[in-house]
Amino acid sequence: MLNIKKTKLHLATAVIIGGLMGASSMSFAQTLKLSHNGDTKSPVHKALKFFADEVKEKTDGDLKVRVYPNGQLGTQRESLELLQSGALDMAKSNASELESFDPGYGAFNIPYIFRDREHFYRALESEDIGQKILRSSEKYGFVGVAYFDAGSRNFYTTKPVRTPADLKGMKIRVQPSPSAIKMMELMGASPTPLPFGELYTALQQRVVDGAENNIGAVTTYRHGEVAKYYTEDEHAMIPDVLVISASTWEGLSDDNKAAVIAAGKDATAFMKTLWAEYTVEELKKAEKMGVEVLQADKDAFIKAVAPMHEAAAENPAISSYVKAIKALDK
């Protein structure tokens, strides 16, 4: 009898102590889940791992980030939906996909809006442009943390393309984004929106005749095994964007919020160097894969998309950003 009582007492004590330990360890350390659709060999994965290390260091281990690559937790769109509902903490997407969640990101998606990489970085760093856009999406359920270089976007196709006229009748995969669809229509191709993860198979099965992206798509993601022409028309520079769920963000202490933002800035700088090296190497790899690099009639492409610049000037969601981006180039 006595023994049973003792056992019950021990059990009760263990439950209380266990409960307390559980509660205390929960309140001391938090691990955020971060989803992205890139390969573990991609620069963006390296930049996100760097970000995670920085967060851990800056918060003395109080806040940790676990990176889930390869779209294991969903496509970019699905990740954003999970973020909005608070079921996921962080995701790396890009301005193209984010445009459907916060129209302000559409300013980056106007083809040929940036003169060069320097202009692009000045716009991202500007308090009135890039930084304002990052801060303005809380009402849509997420907050922007940092930008990552994703290079310039170019066509890669199964038939040579040098002018918009060459695109006639071709089905070109685009990101699921209104700007990407509009751009492709103006250039004369048939846009086919698909998530990035489905693209290799779509190219292989000739569901599409090509796509457009940075050189890494051709090499790291092996799309160059199927699409043998890479046209350097440099029609867009669309930044990758790291975002955090608004509900996760609200739950962070001020110190941890500051650490996340500082780690984001460091990761942007880390990626800037990494990306420049990566692009040079990947172009060489693409040529070794038998991909032919073609020069484009860039003026013809610029002319084809002029209506997007006119429409942007009239679009209240992006007109002030677009004006400010253009003014930076003067």
Task: Please report, as ranges, the residues that interact with ligand GCU according to CB under 6 A.
Answer: 37, 76, 94, 150, 175, 196, 213-214, 217, 240
Give 63 or 167: the residue with its C-beta nearer to ligand GCU: 167
User: Based on CB atoms, which residue is closest to ligand GCU, 37 or 245?
Assistant: 37
The minimum distance between CB 215 and ligand GCU, in angstroms, equals 10
Q: How far is the CB of 92 from ligand GCU (least distance, A)?
A: 7
Least distance to ligand GCU, CB of residue 86, Å: 22
Smallest distance, Å, CB 8 to ligand GCU? 57
Least distance to ligand GCU from the beta carbon of 310, Å?
25
Whose structure tokens read 């099965």? 205
Dihedral, 187, 191, 196, 197 alpha carbons, nearest 10: -150
User: Nearest distance from residue 21's CB to ligand GCU, in Å?
Assistant: 40
- Minimum CB distance to ligand GCU, residue 196 (Å): 3
Residue sitting closest to ligand GCU (CB) = 196
Q: Give backbone dihedrals phi and psi of 20, rounded to 5 degrees, phi first.
A: -65, -45
Between CA 66 and CA 95, with CA 244 as vertex, the angle to 5 degrees is 110
Alpha-carbon distance 250 to 226, whole Å?
45
Minimal CA–CA distance to 231: which of 300, 286, 285, 154? 154
In the complex with ligand GCU, which residue's Cβ is closer, 198 or 297?
Answer: 198
Select 104 or 195, whichever has its Cβ closest to ligand GCU.
Answer: 195
Identify which of residues 76 and 256 has a Cβ nearer to ligand GCU in the complex.
76
CB nearer ligand GCU, residue 220 or residue 256:
220
Residue number with CB closer to ligand GCU (217 or 291): 217
Choice between 112 and 252, CB closer to ligand GCU = 112
**Shortest gap between Cβ of 214 and ligand GCU (angstroms)?**
6
Query: Could you tell me which of 45, 50, 95 has the C-alpha nearest to residue 72?
Result: 45
